């Protein structure tokens, strides 16, 4: 079928994946392949005195055992701050730090060698609590860091800041705690690397940012970046956890010591849990003020996040958390204070939502608390304060792009689920209480003010008459790559069978930034439209000259597989046309750079590579209907409604899947998932102790798209990737508060925590 925008095209990868036929990185076995693995630290903070590798090296199955001394380059990695060693030099900063790298002939030999490596340490006390870490006498995680353990601090004032509370008639306060969250992708970290006889180092790896990886590997290992090629096959999830180097530098180092043989590294689940980044947990202190009509006047937030042992993108997450701190509301006077702190805990980093879900948990509960104080309907309070285009947001930035939060709230208010929620609550069975919870959310699209946010698309008409789309941005599984084909197909009027996809590969595709920041379809779609239109024009011109020299291009049309001259019906097949054209003629590129907002974080916020201030946001209004078991404290979500403004929808099915995936991941964050760490030691080492929602935990989910038109987006689209995960945690928390009359300030809302709150309330309720 010819491709149209708005069509729920079945994903090109759907059949492969559900049948288990898709090749992920870990499936790329090669003959003669070696295995690499890491010896990790088992303590969170120590001086590394020596590493004993001789016994391991002596094994017949061992190819190489490497330590920091064997790293030819800087031995440093980190997306914006190079504070993480590839292999530990003299200091261990967290459990899971890589101390030594082993290359072996097979998996058994690898394990044997790893077991034989030992190292001596001088254990240090370490810091594990962010507020403790900021005390004057605290152990310094990175003694060289000029801020001490304060990785990044950011203070921002809009309007009169907290002085405006003096004018408020109603002021409410609250303090909230959010946990770390594990990405828990289907596919753990994996890669395959080989140093070719031509000196080319090819790393095939599950990554969100192949072009950045190339530079990361080059710097860490002291190589020429042009000697390195990063390839990304299909990926089983990323969610931010594969944005940044995991296996990349280690594997490259292994390949340099493998005598030209391919080397595979696969982290098992436990290693993935130990070594990968987590969503930043922390504390959020809020003060919110309004006039007696409910108009929001003032907001003050103090947000403290635990960054763990390395910077990763923690400072950037903090800035996003602050930017989202006020929700999708008009608040003229704002005082924002954020700190993210080095500790000897596991490394925190980007996770779908990038700081916004943490803020939404606090802000949306504050809105309900304020509504209660003012005796107002929570929906009405939100509606009257909803941002509109032309308003200034809490950073003082004028919203110039489509702003549909008001429309989302109206749609939710009109929905039968909202209309019947009170009646549904009354029908709760014995020993159950029911509640409805709202959450209004926003999420920015794109990198923000400091990093050029661009994409470069490439399309080629192949000699076989097919169109090959060179994707510059990774598809972690969310479906942006199939959407690229849909865009190219619509612009070039081709069928799916006429289109081919080249996954990101620094050797073939063009740099377009990481798969992150809800930017993938927005930014690459725009670039792709330009590339497709350039190629379309070239093909019509060449087709016209081959057909009959009629130079009126409107007389020609590009069809699936051919160009037709409309007045005569004469056609030339694209296969034939391609035969007449050089490859350079058959290749078109398109470049798009996103407009940016001013950087309001100011130059003093040096720790952020991205700065603070976005110009483009998606919005949503969510509702959870929850039922709480008064005996066990268990919270069940019965139904969930998500109304989203992400601009135009290109593929409704993929859109809905993104929303559903975000809701489920958000419900896990809200109800179950708590990545527990005690004194730097991980308590939840695997899926037996770290509990994810399964299909049985998933409620009926209704997704409604409010399709505003975003003039800067492809076909009017914004981005949907991260928005939906921001809603469930606050919606569920508000639903539980509505059901029980007790508010739980700490996530996740486990049965134990809910039951404890109920018991405490019963104690208070007694005379």
Please report, as ranges, the residues that interact with a second copy according to CB under 8 A.
1-2, 4-8, 388-391, 396, 398, 400, 402-404, 406-407, 410, 490, 493, 554, 557, 559-560, 564, 566-567, 569, 595, 598, 648-649, 706-709, 715-716
What does the alpha-carbon distance between residue 454 and residue 468 come to, in Å, rounded to a whole number?
Answer: 21
8 Å CB contact between 706 and 408: yes
Least distance between a second copy and beta carbon 556 (Å): 10
Nearer to a second copy, 489 or 670 (CB): 489
Q: What pairs with residue 171 in β-bridges?
A: 289
Nearer to a second copy, 351 or 556 (CB): 556
Nearer to a second copy, 153 or 396 (CB): 396
Nearer to a second copy, 6 or 132 (CB): 6
Give strand ranges (E) for 313-431.
333-342, 348-349
Least distance between a second copy and beta carbon 4 (Å): 4
Nearer to a second copy, 428 or 704 (CB): 704
What does the alpha-carbon distance between residue 207 and residue 239 come to, in Å, rounded to a whole number?
Answer: 11
The angle subtended at Cα 72 by Cα 69 and Cα 74, nearest 5°, is: 90
What does the alpha-carbon distance between residue 446 and residue 615 come to, in Å, rounded to a whole number?
Answer: 9
Spatial neighbors of 47 by CB under 8 A, at least 6 apart, are 90, 91, 92, 121, 122, 124
What dihedral angle (degrees, nearest 10) is formed by the CA atoms of 352, 345, 101, 90? 140
Nearer to a second copy, 524 or 655 (CB): 655
What does the alpha-carbon distance between residue 83 and residue 68 come to, in Å, rounded to a whole number?
Answer: 14
Nearer to a second copy, 152 or 642 (CB): 642
DSSP string, 58-72: HSTTEEEEE-GGG--
Least distance between a second copy and beta carbon 660 (Å): 17
Least distance between a second copy and beta carbon 3 (Å): 8
Least distance between a second copy and beta carbon 580 (Å): 22
8 Å CB contact between 71 and 87: yes
Least distance between a second copy and beta carbon 705 (Å): 9
Buried-exposed string 600-634: b where 16+ CB fall within 10 A, e elsewhere:
bbeeebebbbbbbbbbbbbbbbbbbbbbbbbeebb
Nearer to a second copy, 153 or 561 (CB): 561
What does the alpha-carbon distance between residue 623 and residue 421 come to, in Å, rounded to a whole number?
Answer: 10
Nearer to a second copy, 2 or 58 (CB): 2
Least distance between a second copy and beta carbon 163 (Å): 18
Least distance between a second copy and beta carbon 598 (Å): 7
The angle subtended at Cα 584 by Cα 579 and Cα 586, nearest 5°, is: 50
Nearer to a second copy, 557 or 698 (CB): 557
Least distance between a second copy and beta carbon 493 (Å): 5
Q: What is the DSSP letter of 109?
A: H
Least distance between a second copy and beta carbon 133 (Å): 38
The angle subtended at Cα 482 by Cα 476 and Cα 488, nearest 5°, is: 135
Per residue, the 3-state secondary structure of 249-296, as one string, reads HHHHHHHHCCCCCCEEEECCHHHHHHHCCEECCEEEEEEEEECCCCCE
């Amino acid at each position: 079928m010819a491709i149209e925008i708005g069509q729920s095209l079945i994903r090109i990868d759907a059949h492969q994946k559900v049948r288990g036929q898709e090749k992920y990185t870990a499936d790329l076995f090669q003959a003669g392949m070696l295995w690499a693995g890491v010896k990790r630290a088992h303590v969170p903070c120590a001086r590394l005195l020596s590493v004993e590798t001789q016994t391991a090296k002596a094994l017949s199955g061992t190819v190489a055992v490497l330590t920091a001394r064997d790293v030819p380059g800087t031995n440093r990695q980190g997306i914006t701050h190079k504070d993480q060693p590839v292999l530990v030099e003299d200091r261990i900063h967290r459990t899971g730090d890589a101390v030594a790298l082993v290359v072996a002939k097979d998996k058994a030999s690898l394990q044997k060698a790893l077991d034989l490596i030992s190292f001596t340490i001088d254990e240090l006390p370490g810091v594990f609590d962010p507020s403790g870490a900021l005390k004057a006498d605290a152990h310094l995680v990175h003694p060289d860091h000029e801020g001490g353990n304060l990785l990044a601090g950011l203070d921002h004032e809009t309007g009169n800041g907290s002085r405006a509370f003096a004018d408020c008639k109603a002021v409410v306060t609250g303090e909230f705690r959010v946990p770390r969250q594990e990405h828990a992708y289907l596919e753990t970290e994996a890669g395959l690397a080989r140093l070719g006889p031509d000196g080319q180092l090819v790393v095939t790896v599950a990554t969100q940012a192949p072009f950045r990886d190339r530079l990361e590997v080059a710097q860490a290992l002291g190589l020429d970046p042009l000697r390195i090629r990063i390839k990304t096959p299909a990926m089983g999830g990323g969610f931010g956890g594969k944005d940044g180097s995991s296996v990349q530098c280690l594997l490259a180092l292994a390949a340099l010591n493998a005598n030209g043989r391919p080397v595979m590294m696969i982290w098992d689940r436990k290693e993935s849990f130990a070594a990968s980044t987590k969503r930043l947990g922390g504390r959020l202190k809020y003060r919110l003020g309004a006039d007696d009509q409910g108009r929001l006047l003032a907001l003050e937030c103090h947000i403290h996040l635990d960054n763990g042992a390395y910077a990763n993108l923690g400072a950037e997450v903090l800035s996003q958390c602050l930017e989202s701190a006020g929700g999708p509301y008009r608040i003229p006077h704002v005082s924002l204070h954020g700190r993210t702190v080095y500790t000897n805990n596991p490394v925190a980093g980007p996770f779908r939502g990038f700081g916004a879900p943490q803020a939404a948990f606090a802000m949306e509960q504050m809105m309900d608390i304020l509504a209660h104080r003012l005796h107002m309907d929570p929906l009405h309070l939100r509606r009257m304060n909803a941002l509109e285009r032309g308003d200034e947001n809490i950073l003082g930035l004028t919203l110039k792009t489509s702003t549909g939060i008001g429309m989302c709230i109206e749609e939710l208010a009109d929905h039968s689920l909202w209309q019947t929620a009170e009646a549904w609550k009354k029908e709760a069975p014995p020993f159950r209480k029911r509640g409805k919870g709202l959450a209004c959310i926003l999420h920015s699209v794109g990198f923000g003010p400091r990093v050029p946010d661009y994409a470069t698309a490439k399309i080629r008409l192949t000699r076989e008459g097919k169109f090959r789309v060179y994707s510059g941005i990774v598809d972690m599984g969310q479906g942006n790559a199939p959407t690229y084909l849909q865009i190219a197909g619509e612009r070039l009027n081709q069928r799916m069978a006429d289109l081919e996809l080249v996954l990101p590969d620094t050797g073939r595709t063009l740099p377009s930034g990481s798969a992150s920041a809800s930017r993938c379809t927005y930014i690459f779609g725009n670039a792709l439209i330009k590339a497709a239109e350039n190629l379309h024009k070239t093909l019509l011109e060449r087709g016209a000259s081959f057909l009959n020299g009629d130079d009126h291009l409107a007389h020609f049309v590009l069809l699936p597989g051919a160009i037709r001259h409309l007045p005569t019906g004469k056609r030339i097949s694209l296969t034939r046309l391609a035969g007449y054209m050089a490859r350079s003629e058959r290749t078109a590129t398109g470049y798009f750079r996103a407009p940016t907002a001013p950087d309001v974080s100011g130059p003093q916020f040096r720790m952020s590579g991205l700065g603070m201030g976005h110009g483009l946001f998606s919005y949503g209004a969510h509702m959870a209907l929850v039922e709480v078991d008064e005996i066990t404290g268990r919270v069940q979500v019965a139904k969930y409604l998500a109304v989203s403004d992400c601009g135009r929808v290109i593929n409704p099915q993929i859109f809905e899947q993104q929303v559903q995936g975000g809701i489920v991941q958000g419900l896990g964050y809200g109800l179950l998932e708590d990545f527990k760490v005690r004194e730097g030691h991980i308590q939840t080492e695997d899926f037996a102790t770290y509990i994810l929602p399964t299909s049985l935990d998933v409620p009926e989910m209704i997704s409604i798209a409010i399709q505003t038109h975003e003039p800067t987006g492809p076909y009017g689209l914004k981005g949907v990737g991260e928005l939906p995960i921001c809603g469930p945690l606050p919606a569920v928390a508000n639903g539980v508060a509505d059901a029980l009359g007790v508010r739980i300030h700490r996530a996740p809302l486990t049965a134990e925590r809910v039951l404890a709150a109920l018991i405490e309330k019963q104690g208070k309720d007694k005379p």
